[in-house]
Amino acid sequence: MDKFIYFATVPKDVQELLARHESPKTETSTWKWIPMEYLDRVGEALKSAGRFRVVYRGPRFHRWRASTNKKDAVAFTVYEL
């Protein structure tokens, strides 16, 4: 992701939120375990910053699934495409 576009388009409060949930450099995700209450705010902010994929996290009701349904999620993880 272009850092200039990120800082120019993402509001300061969302940048601070994302900084608290930044993934370690050894992982493929960009930000992880962001509480679901911030989904709309983060989604709107990242629309103009680039292409991202959101994966919902929380209780899994099937062992073979790597993610959970949006309605059951307690947090989400963001991956850059």
pLDDT at 34 over 80: yes
pLDDT at 61 over 90: no
pLDDT, position 50: 82
As a whole number, mean pLDDT of residues 60-80 equals: 83
Domain assignment of residue 32, given as a range = 3-80
Percent of the chain with pLDDT over 90: 59
Q: Where are the beta strands (DSSP E) in the chain?
A: 31-35, 52-57, 75-80
46 three-class SS: helix
Structure tokens at 2: 């272009």
CB neighbour list of residue 44: distance below 8 Å, 6 or more residues apart:
none
**Residue 69 binned pLDDT confidence (cut-offs 50, 70, 90):** confident
- Asked if 80 and 30 touch (Cβ cutoff 8 Å), the reply is yes
Query: In DSSP terms, which residues pair with 56 in a beta bridge?
Result: 76
pLDDT at 47 over 70: yes
Tally the domains of the chain: 1
